[in-house]
């Protein structure tokens, strides 16, 4: 067995991998076979390896290892999807009982990893994020509350919660007369989705409150959607969910995952096919029109869900203002231009992690600047660097030691040619931030990768 890894750069035939990825090339050969092709090794380019590698260090295989902790994808019939290149040794036993449910939901958010990250327990998938999209925001609004989007602290105990085993309710809740507060769903990019009707019962889209991406900011300067973020299909594809409702059921776009036409939607914009799921629409309710699954409602909103924290006094509507453009400025700065009474204004805002502040500066048509800085903004937490160590094992096994953020789940993928990647599974680290696991070869050549998406 030959295990190789190399830090690479320059031009080559392979597609680049995200900086959050790590890859091992693993070649297996018989006693009379030549070593791995140098030509293959030389073709590996553009890859970023953030790993440490120990070659030839043999460890005695422990006996009586517990059932493995991998959560691996299953097909629609519930059958485990066979992995490529590497597999879990059969003597390690079966996986967790909620293996399929976790993998399905974790995969939906993986295209936005590590900006959006997940973890789980027996009942919930927890989604951690700052609620800020990668696309623009605010541009296109013609009915503005003078609020903008700043990063929120949807982490730790304030994370989003998606049920792993949703249950249909005997008394569905409609968004036409309920749930005017808080979110009803979470988009796969980590942006919450609110009722299509605002807190006054008005269609937020029809009255011009939404930007070109179907969102706007709330009183805490928390960005959220009120209409289906169909633009996310450019990232996740049309066969994947664009969101999960807070009752645990997925939300798809305008067509079925297999590309067929959507028919027979109920009053909640959902139906069975084969399992229950919701769909987006171009007219009201735009997204799920209610909660077909069991949820707890308190004070007009679904619980549990994260809280937001504003840093500045409440703003008032600016009737007649129209936001005409938006521009990101560096890592934490934003700028928009709006017109009011036929004159042009600029609003710039930014957050400071070091000072825990948010600053808003308005420039009027005469060039005068009104700037205010507010304390109390809570920055999203950093998380630990990851590393991967690989040791060759007797009997052709491999022992991996992965370190990262305690409690966080990481996506892994495998390949036999470095071109097509398949999701191997998800692994959640314990409180010590480390997981040791064994894998076995199932092909002559294998690539093992931490990172997302698998289409790279």
Confidence of residue 36 (pLDDT cuts 50, 70, 90): very low
- Res 23: pLDDT: 62
Q: Please write down the HEC assignment for all residues of 221-278.
A: CCEEECCCCHHHHHHHCCCCCCEEECCCCEEECCECCCCCECCCCCCCCEEECCCEEE
**Which of 40-49, 420-429, 432-441, 447-456 bottoms out in mean pLDDT, i.e. has the lowest?**
40-49
**pLDDT exceeds 50 at position 411:** yes
Q: Are 117 and 409 in contact (CB under 8 A)?
A: yes
- Quote the percentage of the chain above a pLDDT of 90: 74
- Res 17: pLDDT: 44
Residues 190 and 248 in one domain: yes
* Residue with more model confidence, 46 or 170: 170
**pLDDT exceeds 80 at position 50:** no
Mean local confidence (pLDDT), 202-223: 97
**Which of 27-31, 68-72, 372-376, 393-397 bottoms out in mean pLDDT, i.e. has the lowest?**
27-31
Confidence of residue 75 (pLDDT cuts 50, 70, 90): very high
Residues 158 and 275 in one domain: yes
- Res 93: pLDDT: 80
Residues 407 and 369 in one domain: no
310 falls within a domain: no
* Residue with more model confidence, 236 or 397: 236
331 falls within a domain: yes
Residues 344 and 433 in one domain: no
**Which of 25-29, 149-153, 210-214, 305-309 bottoms out in mean pLDDT, i.e. has the lowest?**
25-29
- Tokens (6 digits) for 283: 């007219």
Confidence of residue 104 (pLDDT cuts 50, 70, 90): very high
167 falls within a domain: yes
Mean local confidence (pLDDT), 159-187: 97
- Res 192: pLDDT: 98
Q: Are 288 and 241 in contact (CB under 8 A)?
A: no
- Quote the percentage of the chain above a pLDDT of 70: 84
Residues 441 and 393 in one domain: yes
- Res 188: pLDDT: 98
Domain that holds residue 334: 322-375
Residues 168 and 236 in one domain: yes
Residues 74 and 171 in one domain: no
Residues 254 and 119 in one domain: yes
3-state class (DSSP) for residue 403:
strand
**Which of 62-76, 262-276, 424-438 bottoms out in mean pLDDT, i.e. has the lowest?**
62-76
Confidence of residue 59 (pLDDT cuts 50, 70, 90): very low
Confidence of residue 395 (pLDDT cuts 50, 70, 90): confident
Q: What is the pLDDT of residues 292-342, one digit of tens each?
A: 999 999 999 999 999 999 999 999 999 999 999 999 999 899 999 999 999
Domain count, the chain: 3
Last residue of a domain, one of 272, 303, 334: 303
Confidence of residue 21 (pLDDT cuts 50, 70, 90): low
Residue from 52, 43, 45, 47 nearest 21 by CA: 47
**pLDDT exceeds 70 at position 46:** no
Residues 45 and 28 in one domain: yes
Confidence of residue 390 (pLDDT cuts 50, 70, 90): confident
Residues 247 and 158 in one domain: yes
**pLDDT exceeds 90 at position 8:** no
- Tokens (6 digits) for 167: 């249950």
Mean local confidence (pLDDT), 254-269: 97
- Res 68: pLDDT: 79
Last residue of a domain, one of 249, 270, 303: 303
424 falls within a domain: yes
- Cα dist from 168 to 125, 280, 292, whole Å: 18, 19, 6
**pLDDT exceeds 90 at position 102:** yes
Instruction: For the chain, report the end-to-end CA distance as a whole number of angstroms.
Output: 27
**Token pair 């996986």 in the structure block, residue:** 95
Measured distance CA(230)–CA(161) in Å, rounded:
22
**pLDDT exceeds 60 at position 33:** no
**pLDDT exceeds 90 at position 47:** no
3-state class (DSSP) for residue 361:
strand
**Which of 68-77, 234-243, 256-265 bottoms out in mean pLDDT, i.e. has the lowest?**
68-77
- Res 67: pLDDT: 54
Last residue of a domain, one of 303, 330, 350: 303
The angle at the Cα of 205, spanning 335 to 332, to the nearest 5 degrees, equals 20
166 falls within a domain: yes
364 falls within a domain: yes
Mean local confidence (pLDDT), 145-154: 97
41 falls within a domain: yes
Confidence of residue 25 (pLDDT cuts 50, 70, 90): low
Residues 236 and 209 in one domain: yes
Mean of the per-residue pLDDT values for the chain?
86
Measured distance CA(102)–CA(82) in Å, rounded:
17
Confidence of residue 24 (pLDDT cuts 50, 70, 90): low
271 falls within a domain: yes
Measured distance CA(142)–CA(145) in Å, rounded:
10
Residues 6 and 87 in one domain: yes
Q: Which secondary-structure segment (H or E) carries 101?
A: helix 99-109
């Amino acid at each position: 067995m030959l295990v190789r890894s190399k830090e690479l750069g320059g031009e080559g035939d392979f597609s680049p991998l995200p900086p959050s990825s790590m890859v091992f090339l693993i070649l297996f050969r018989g006693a009379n076979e030549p070593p791995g092709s140098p030509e293959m090794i030389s073709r590996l380019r553009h890859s970023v390896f953030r790993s440490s590698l120990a070659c030839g260090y043999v460890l005695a295989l422990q006996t009586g290892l517990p059932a493995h902790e991998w959560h691996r994808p299953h097909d629609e019939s519930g059958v485990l999807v066979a992995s490529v290149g590497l597999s879990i040794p059969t003597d390690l036993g079966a996986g967790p009982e909620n293996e399929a449910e976790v993998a399905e939901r974790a995969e939906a958010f993986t295209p936005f990893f590590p900006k959006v990250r997940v973890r789980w327990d027996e009942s919930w998938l927890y989604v951690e994020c700052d609620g800020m999209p990668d696309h623009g925001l605010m541009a296109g609004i013609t009915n503005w509350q003078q609020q903008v989007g700043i990063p929120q602290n949807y982490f730790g105990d304030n994370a989003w919660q998606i049920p792993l085993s949703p249950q249909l309710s005997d008394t569905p809740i409609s968004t036409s007369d309920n749930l005017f507060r808080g979110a009803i769903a979470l988009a796969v990019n980590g942006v919450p989705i609110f009722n299509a009707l605002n807190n006054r019962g008005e269609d937020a889209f029809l009255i011009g409150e939404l930007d070109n991406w179907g969102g706007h900011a709330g009183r805490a300067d928390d960005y959220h959607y009120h209409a289906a973020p169909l633009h996310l299909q450019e990232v996740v594809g049309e066969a994947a969910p664009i969101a999960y409702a807070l009752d645990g059921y997925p939300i798809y776009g305008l067509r079925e995952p297999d590309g067929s036409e959507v028919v027979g939607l109920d009053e909640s914009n959902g139906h069975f096919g084969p399992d229950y799921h919701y769909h987006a629409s171009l007219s009201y309710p735009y997204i799920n029109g209610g909660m077909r699954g069991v949820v707890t409602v308190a004070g007009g909103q679904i619980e549990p869900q994260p809280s937001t924290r504003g840093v500045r006094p409440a703003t008032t509507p600016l009737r007649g203002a129209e936001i005409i453009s938006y521009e990101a400025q560096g890592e934490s700065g934003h700028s928009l231009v709006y017109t009011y009474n036929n004159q042009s204004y600029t609003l710039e805002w930014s957050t400071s992690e070091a000072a825990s502040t948010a600053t808003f500066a308005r420039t009027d048509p005469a060039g005068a600047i009104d700037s205010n800085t507010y304390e109390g903004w809570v920055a999203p937490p950093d998380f630990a660097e990851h590393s991967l160590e690989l040791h060759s094992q007797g009997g052709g096994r491999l022992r991996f030691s992965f370190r990262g953020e305690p409690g966080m789940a990481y996506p892994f993928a495998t390949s036999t040619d470095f071109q097509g990647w398949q999701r191997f599974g998800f692994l959640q680290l314990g409180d010590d931030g480390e997981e040791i696991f064994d894998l076995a070869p199932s092909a002559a050549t294998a690539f093992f990768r931490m990172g997302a998406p698998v289409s790279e």
